[in-house]
Structure 1
Amino acid sequence: MNEIVNRKIDITTIPGIRKYRNTLQLILLKVLHDIFPHRKVKIEYSINKGCYCNIDSIRITQDDIDKIKRNIQNYIDSDVEIKEIYCTRSKAIKLLREHNIHDIADSLEYVSNKKVLIYELDGFLSVFYSEVAESTGYVDLFDIKPYDPGFIFFYPTRHKPFELPMYTEQNKLASVFGEFNKWNEILGIPDVTSLNKKVQEGSINDIILASEALQDIKLGEISRDISKTQMKFIMIAGPSSSGKTTFANRLRIHLIVHGINAKIISLDDYYINRADMIPDKYGKVDLESIDALDIRAFKENMNELSEKGFTKIPSFDFPTATRRPELIPISLKNDEVLIIEGIHGLNPLMTEGIRDEHIFKIYISALTTINIDNHNRFSTTDTRLIRRITRDYQYRNASASHTLHMWESVRSGEDKYIFPFQEQADVIFNSALLYEHGLLRNIAESILRKVKKDDSAYCESRRLLDILSAFERIDSNAVPPSSIIREFIGGSCFH
């Protein structure tokens, strides 16, 4: 990296990598605007260690890629100033419309903020929900690879700030994003503005019920596939706040329809005593690590269930951080399956020595597919974070500040122990719901406002508040008690 990057942006931090990424994306958008004028450019979702983008009605060629990269590099080398235009919301909307950036202008019609910060690069305007650097010379590492019909934009990560991530095929994940984009089209909700219009028109209940029905269709397909096999163990894994508990219970109900009885256990009960965990060099215990689980006991239990149909499993007491002395008996008949949910469910270490033909693996995450506008996607991570803030406050007596401060540790654990195994799943389930952000706003907004200005989590809380303000509030009356979102807002029939 050049000196100015090292001096001005620390991309090993979450705010730093956001600033770096936003700056690169602003340069990219400016370059695409110049090369493909009057074409809609959309920054979509994270895939294959990068960010997928597409240009309306154009299939990107290698010649296009080469030209885009040259022009981006020219901006970086020239260190062009990025100007800030801080103005009233009404003036921002007018200015954006004058520049034919109607999608961002439309989204700003719904936000409650009185002031808006617009970034200008060489006459091109855009809005971001976190910082952009002062000039184009603050960044230098990037790459672009074609990904039909668009391309993937790569930049460094927090964990490896001086190199670009290795391209990794994630075909199953890409298939899920493609499937849900089609669902969005079916529902007529390509972006937040479209969703907000449904709320104002009074037709949001149809969107809620249709979203739930689409997830039920997917659950039906998964349960049907399981019914055609000799599976004994269904491993459900996913990052924090994906809705694993509710998904496991809904899957159990769907399996009943196919004549299969299922029992549910959690890998959390295989935690070893906190006092027996080995701390790192800083004296901290990594609760996200697979080493925090008693893997040997788990495999012994599963093999006993396979061979004898009976075993005794542990039970963990979280308030005391110790395993309860009594073991819980559990049986498994020939026509029954065991659903096992936990963040490490897809890790091969958990199932090593258990017959592969007895294991069905499911990866679940809130793979958000709705954009705020063409330049700003609502990230999967932010969706899960807002879910967690809401749940932690209501059910775990934890403040937004507490959740925000520990979130970086949670994400680091996900990068190490969960995401590397997602493509090994037999199926990927998207737990995101199109309507959930307007619903979460009702609860999360007041929780986030309690973060004080002198708290280091304050800026992050304001960023999340700004994003949530783009969504019209949605009433929860039409949300069924079996919905995954009920796990976070309350009223679930499974709790």
Structure 2
Amino acid sequence: MIQDKEQCTIKVTLENEGSFQYEKGISLEEISYDFQKNEPYQIVAAIVDNQLRELSYSLNEDCDIKFINECSPIGARIYQRSLSFIFIRACMELFSGCRVSVEHSLSKGLYCEVHYKRQIDEADTQRIEYRMKEIVEEDVPLTKNRIPVDEAIDIFREYGQMGKVNLMKYREKPYINIYQCGWLKNYFYGYMVPSTRYMKKFELKFYSPGIIIQLPIKEADGQIPNFEEQPKLFKVFRETEKWGEILEIDHVATLNDLIVTRKEGEFIRIAEALHEKKIAQIADTITEHIDEKKLILIAGPSSSGKTTFSKRLEIQLKVNGLKPVSISLDDYFVNREDTPLDDKGEFDFEALNAIDLELFNRDLKRILAGEEVEIPTFNFHLGKREYKGNKIKINKDQPLILEGIHCLNDKLTESIPRNKKFKIYISALTQLNIDEHNRIPTTDTRLIRRLVRDSKFRSNDANRTLFLWQSVRRGEEKNIFPFQEEADVMFNSALFYELSILKKYAEPLLRQVDTTSPYHAEAKRLLKFLNYFVNLEKEEDVPKTSILREFIDGGSFH
């Protein structure tokens, strides 16, 4: 029997493209073929009626679609995840019995380690890359199957992936979605591309003792960017890994075990003590060089805990007999009418030229020379600087502390020679991962911190924070990350236990992001991510001086 044509077709409306008729049951991948030519980058997924969907998803009713490419924030995660799967398979085929761990981002790529009976070297890296390219050319489907948790545990145990085995203890649902690439089955937090042929752009870089998977990025026009060394950042990641060994924690399941068995108290105290020890070491280094380096510059991305860190550093400097003085960059904003505009014609308060560099450098030079200087106060209501008799004069045992997004950029303090500055970079560089192959991005930790803080102290709901986050991230990429290797020291403000506490604050906020919001897919992703953690309800073990208090309240610093 021939059905009516209207019953066999659906209307698909694409953003910026118009509406089109397709047969019912058509996949997003098939539709993407018609529009790939209009996309500068590879399509890897789609938003369907405000829900993130894999390209394998079939359509059976009228809908609105927005395709996601490899260089968008969502698409980049899908591309990276899919490529990690191919990397893991290639390593397991070439080095029988090896374990692969996906560690953290580094130099615009993904740092991984291959744990084998001998050290992996440059030649091994080339072999892995060649095998990966073979798998890509074979166009192997990446298929998803729902299986019982018990069956998944058997698979993980066979591969020696005990992080995944232990994580399954805390899974509430009796089933789990497993991806398959040829013979290899694995679990990944998030979606994949339909097949390996989508992953044509990548390079491997041997970076002892591991390997960096280099990925295409928007800033390089969808190509692999030039490799830039980040030895200081890498050193901090290695240091954090050592901290994990001290705390005897590697993956989320280990942290969950501590909370369930009520052993989190000592764990929190040790984690906080490691922070305090590091801050004290930084203060000792500053004290040793106080005669030649009186200007302390602190910078880091949003929600790194800069305010609390600065206060704790001041205390440690006072312990060493110094009397630090702080000034605020905000007081040197140009008057509102002179503020530079961004590409949307709005005030760009994060631009370097939003600061009166000439006045600031003139005052800074005089202050460090021991002169008494009257510094301005910026009236945010009127949008202009005012002088209210606020004077500063420092002596030989008084370092000047300055905190702000541009502090690692020498253009901010160009009147002061480089050897007279002590630069500190701070960020929440997460080392605790979900399991062997699913990492916790640093940006996710900071975003969850900011969601909680914005709700508590700025009356912003999750929609507002997620909207602002896009602009914040652009500002970080432009004004902070290019200068992080300029730092004399780096401080990792991440706390291994923090997401277990932040969870109970963040989840209700994220659940308020309804299905009509443009940020629904992101809120849903973060909720799924937080679901891996067991709630840490008791907060009395968190010190009032903890960086975490900057976000959950109850701290000593304001």
TM-score normalised to the size of structure 2?
0.84
Partner secondary structure for residue 109 of structure 1 = helix
1:187 matched residue in structure 2: 247
Please tell me whether the aligned partners of residues 365 and 416 of structure 2 are also in contact (alpha carbons under 8 angstroms): yes
Please tell me whether the aligned partners of residues 261 and 336 of structure 1 are also in contact (alpha carbons under 8 angstroms): yes
Q: Distance in 2 between matches of 1:11 and 1:327?
A: 54
Q: Which protein has the larger Cα radius of gyration, Structure 1 or Structure 2?
A: 2
The alpha-carbon distance between structure 1 residues 334 and 482, as it changes in their structure 2 partners (threshold 3 A), is same
1:483 matched residue in structure 2: 546
1:65: Cα distance to partner?
A: 1.4
2:81 matched residue in structure 1: 22
1:34 matched residue in structure 2: 93
1:330 matched residue in structure 2: 392
Determine whether 1:249 maps to 2:311: yes
Q: State the AA in 2 paired with 1:210.
A: I
Residue of structure 2 aligned with 1:173, choices 209, 219, 233: 233
Residue of structure 2 aligned with 1:352, choices 403, 414, 420: 414
Q: State the AA in 1 paired with 2:452.
A: T
Q: Distance in 1 between matches of 2:342 and 2:473?
A: 18
Q: Distance in 2 between matches of 1:280 and 1:266?
A: 23
1:154 matched residue in structure 2: 214
1:98: Cα distance to partner?
A: 5.6
Higher mean C-alpha deviation, range 313-322 or range 62-71: 313-322
Partner secondary structure for residue 432 of structure 1 = coil
The alpha-carbon distance between structure 1 residues 236 and 114, as it changes in their structure 2 partners (threshold 3 A), is farther
2:25 matched residue in structure 1: none
2:505 matched residue in structure 1: 443
1:107 matched residue in structure 2: 167
The alignment yields a C-alpha RMSD, in angstroms, of 2.1
Please tell me whether the aligned partners of residues 237 and 341 of structure 1 are also in contact (alpha carbons under 8 angstroms): yes
1:291: Cα distance to partner?
A: 2.0
1:421: Cα distance to partner?
A: 1.0
Determine whether 1:426 maps to 2:488: yes
1:32: Cα distance to partner?
A: 1.4
Please tell me whether the aligned partners of residues 17 and 158 of structure 1 are also in contact (alpha carbons under 8 angstroms): no
Determine whether 1:494 maps to 2:543: no
The alpha-carbon distance between structure 1 residues 178 and 281, as it changes in their structure 2 partners (threshold 3 A), is closer
1:78: Cα distance to partner?
A: 2.1
1:370: Cα distance to partner?
A: 1.0
Q: Distance in 2 between matches of 1:176 and 1:165?
A: 23
Partner secondary structure for residue 361 of structure 2 = helix
Residue of structure 2 aligned with 1:196, choices 256, 275, 290: 256
Partner secondary structure for residue 362 of structure 1 = strand
Q: Distance in 2 between matches of 1:275 and 1:450?
A: 37
1:375: Cα distance to partner?
A: 0.2
Determine whether 1:394 maps to 2:456: yes
Determine whether 1:6 maps to 2:42: yes
1:130: Cα distance to partner?
A: 2.4
Please list the CA deviations of residues 12-39 of structure 1 after superposition, one character each: whole Å capped at 9, or x if unmatched. Answer: 3101111111111111112112222322
Higher mean C-alpha deviation, range 250-259 or range 154-163: 154-163
1:113: Cα distance to partner?
A: 5.3
The alpha-carbon distance between structure 1 residues 97 and 320, as it changes in their structure 2 partners (threshold 3 A), is farther
1:316: Cα distance to partner?
A: 3.2
Please list the CA deviations of residues 403-459 of structure 1 after superposition, one character each: whole Å capped at 9, or x if unmatched. Answer: 112212211211111111111111111111111110111211111111111111111
The alpha-carbon distance between structure 1 residues 480 and 319, as it changes in their structure 2 partners (threshold 3 A), is farther
Equivalent residue pairs, number: 494
Partner secondary structure for residue 229 of structure 2 = coil
Determine whether 1:383 maps to 2:445: yes
Please tell me whether the aligned partners of residues 344 and 418 of structure 1 are also in contact (alpha carbons under 8 angstroms): yes
Q: Distance in 1 between matches of 2:259 and 2:427?
A: 25
Q: Distance in 1 between matches of 2:196 and 2:266?
A: 45
Partner secondary structure for residue 467 of structure 2 = helix
Partner secondary structure for residue 85 of structure 1 = strand
Please tell me whether the aligned partners of residues 288 and 410 of structure 1 are also in contact (alpha carbons under 8 angstroms): no
Residue of structure 2 aligned with 1:366, choices 419, 428, 441: 428
The alpha-carbon distance between structure 1 residues 155 and 336, as it changes in their structure 2 partners (threshold 3 A), is same
TM-score normalised to the size of structure 1?
0.94
Structure 2: which 5+ runs fail to align? 1-35, 45-67
Higher mean C-alpha deviation, range 264-273 or range 146-155: 264-273
Determine whether 1:460 maps to 2:496: no
Residue of structure 1 aligned with 2:142, choices 48, 73, 82: 82
Please tell me whether the aligned partners of residues 43 and 70 of structure 2 are also in contact (alpha carbons under 8 angstroms): no
Q: Distance in 2 between matches of 1:246 and 1:321?
A: 27
What aligned pairs does 1:130-145 form with structure 2 within 5 A after superposition?
130-145=190-205
1:115: Cα distance to partner?
A: 5.4
Please tell me whether the aligned partners of residues 50 and 155 of structure 1 are also in contact (alpha carbons under 8 angstroms): yes
Partner secondary structure for residue 344 of structure 1 = coil
1:49: Cα distance to partner?
A: 2.6
Q: Distance in 2 between matches of 1:264 and 1:112?
A: 49
Higher mean C-alpha deviation, range 254-263 or range 403-412: 403-412
Please tell me whether the aligned partners of residues 112 and 469 of structure 1 are also in contact (alpha carbons under 8 angstroms): no
Please tell me whether the aligned partners of residues 223 and 251 of structure 1 are also in contact (alpha carbons under 8 angstroms): yes
Q: Distance in 2 between matches of 1:448 and 1:321?
A: 34
The alpha-carbon distance between structure 1 residues 226 and 59, as it changes in their structure 2 partners (threshold 3 A), is same
Q: State the AA in 1 paired with 2:428.
A: A
Please tell me whether the aligned partners of residues 209 and 478 of structure 1 are also in contact (alpha carbons under 8 angstroms): yes
Partner secondary structure for residue 53 of structure 1 = strand
Higher mean C-alpha deviation, range 415-424 or range 313-322: 313-322
1:116 matched residue in structure 2: 176
Q: Distance in 1 between matches of 2:378 and 2:528?
A: 39
1:218: Cα distance to partner?
A: 0.9
Please tell me whether the aligned partners of residues 240 and 431 of structure 2 are also in contact (alpha carbons under 8 angstroms): yes
The alpha-carbon distance between structure 1 residues 14 and 319, as it changes in their structure 2 partners (threshold 3 A), is farther
Partner secondary structure for residue 324 of structure 2 = strand
Q: State the AA in 2 paired with 1:249.
A: K
Residue of structure 1 aligned with 2:125, choices 65, 81, 102: 65
Higher mean C-alpha deviation, range 144-153 or range 122-131: 122-131
Q: State the AA in 1 paired with 2:80.
A: R
Partner secondary structure for residue 261 of structure 1 = coil
Q: State the AA in 1 paired with 2:203.
A: D
Identity %: 39
What aligned pairs does 1:214-363 form with structure 2 within 5 A after superposition?
214-229=274-289, 230=291, 231-318=293-380, 322-324=384-386, 326=388, 328-363=390-425
Q: State the AA in 2 paired with 1:171.
A: P
1:139: Cα distance to partner?
A: 2.0
